[in-house]
């Protein structure tokens, strides 16, 4: 009898520990959780990711493919209680940083996850290095937990495919590809790092545009995989050594030409400024010579108004002043002799 009672108490104690105390759990501040009942996640009725703004970055043909139910998210706190037939799936939503060349399925790939290879439009094999910041989005935990087997592998594969497609078809914007073709920039020296037709130079010059393009293209990763790409930062584009030396020679020659163009432009600008200054000086001199004649014409007009004898008297006085200053004077006589 005592053995039976002890067995009953033992079973009760085991049940309380196994299914009651073990059913208590908490959720940390940087975590979110989803509860499943018999393997099915608790969902918000009649609500899918298509009702969330995150789906606006999906193309029309992708919306049905990535239509996931919205689940009830357990926020930080606790303790919470779960029944034995329920299971809690916790995920960290902290932002993480990883090298863009890292391959989770094969860590030894891409030179140990350090350099990602891509081919440019002119068939040059380049090495890219940079970082990606990402975090799990609580707005689409269903896709992260249940929709994709390995969401990180999927989102990295998507990012790399978009990046390689962009590298293969990249063309520098017209404002930087050929500055000499723009009238507004024709007087400026050409940038030594821009050589028309060399895609690697174009990529290096436009790294900011490349990063912004990648961020725009990856906005749909939240709706696809439940992962938000906070930022991508491509920091370097390195061609093979033989190509690098050839590019260095091209850039050096281009830099020399740009320097000569700049010197010629500066010399031409200086001559133009000097010519403008000379024209201004000659114009001022002409005005200075004309102004006394205008004043004299005004004065003679006023004298003429005083009568017919005013001008001859004025001319006589002018002759007398001139005679007083002259050392000698030659006057024609009435007989035609001097």
Question: Is 165 part of any domain?
Answer: yes
What is the domain count for the chain?
Answer: 1
Query: Residue 238's closest CA among 97, 98, 101, 96?
Result: 101
First to last CA, the chain: 173
Question: Is 285 part of any domain?
Answer: no
Distance CA 309, CA 200 (A): 91
- pLDDT tens-digit profile of 257-267? 777 788 888 88
Question: Is 249 part of any domain?
Answer: no
CATH number, position 6: 3.30.479.30
CB-based contacts of 323, cutoff 8 Å, min separation 6: 329
Question: Is 265 part of any domain?
Answer: no
Question: Is 138 part of any domain?
Answer: yes
Q: Please say whether the beta carbons of 55 and 49 come within 8 A.
A: yes
Question: Is 327 part of any domain?
Answer: no
Reply yes or no on whether the pLDDT at 186 is more than 50: no
Question: Is 155 part of any domain?
Answer: yes
How much is the pLDDT for 5?
Answer: 76
Distance CA 190, CA 176 (A): 10
Q: Which is more confident, 204 or 248? A: 204
Question: Is 328 part of any domain?
Answer: no
Measured CA to CA in angstroms, residue 20 lies from 15, 36, 84, 240, 271 at distances of 7, 17, 8, 63, 93
Which domain covers residue 233, as residue numbers? 2-170+206-239
Distance CA 237, CA 126 (A): 6
Reply yes or no on whether the pLDDT at 180 is more than 50: no
How much is the pLDDT for 187?
Answer: 41
Q: What is the mean pLDDT of residues 313-326?
A: 75
Dump the DSSP string for 250-304: HHHHHHHHHHHHHHHHHHHHHHHHHHHHHHHHHHHHHHHHHHHHHHHHHHHHHHH
Reply yes or no on whether the pLDDT at 291 is more than 90: no
Q: What is the mean pLDDT of residues 33-47?
A: 91
pTM: 0.60
């Amino acid at each position: 009898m005592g053995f039976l009672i002890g067995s009953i108490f033992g079973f009760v104690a085991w049940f309380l520990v196994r299914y009651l105390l073990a059913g208590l759990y908490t959720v940390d501040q940087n975590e979110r959780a989803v509860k499943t009942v018999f393997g099915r996640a608790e969902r918000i009725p009649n609500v899918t990711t298509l009702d969330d703004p995150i789906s606006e970055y999906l193309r029309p043909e992708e919306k049905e493919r990535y239509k996931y139910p919205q689940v009830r998210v357990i926020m930080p706190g606790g303790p919470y209680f779960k029944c034995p037939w329920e299971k809690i799936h916790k995920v960290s939503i902290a932002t993480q940083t990883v090298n863009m060349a890292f391959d989770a399925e094969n860590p030894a790939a891409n030179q140990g996850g350090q350099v990602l290879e891509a081919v440019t439009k002119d068939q040059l094999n380049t090495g890219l290095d940079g970082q990606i910041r990402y975090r799990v989005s609580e707005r689409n935990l269903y896709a992260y937990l249940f929709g994709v087997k390995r969401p990180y592998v999927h989102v990295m594969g998507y990012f790399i495919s978009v990046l390689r497609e962009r590298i293969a078809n990249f063309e520098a914007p017209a404002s930087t590809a050929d500055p000499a073709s723009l009238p507004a920039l024709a007087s400026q020296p050409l940038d030594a790092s821009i050589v028309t037709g060399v895609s690697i130079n174009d990529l290096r010059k436009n790294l900011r545009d490349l990063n912004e393009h990648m961020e725009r293209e990856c906005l749909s990763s939240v709706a696809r995989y439940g992962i938000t790409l906070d930022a991508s930062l491509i920091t370097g584009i390195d061609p093979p050594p033989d190509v690098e030396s050839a590019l260095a020679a091209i850039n050096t020659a281009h830099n020399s030409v740009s320097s000569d163009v700049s010197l010629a432009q500066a010399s031409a600008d200086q001559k133009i400024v000097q010519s403008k200054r000379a024209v201004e000086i000659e114009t001022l001199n002409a005005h200075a010579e004309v102004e006394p004649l205008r004043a004299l014409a005004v004065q003679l007009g006023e004298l003429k108004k005083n009568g017919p004898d005013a001008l001859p008297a004025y001319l006589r006085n002018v002759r007398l002043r001139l005679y007083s200053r002259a050392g000698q004077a030659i006057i024609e006589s009435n007989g035609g002799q001097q």
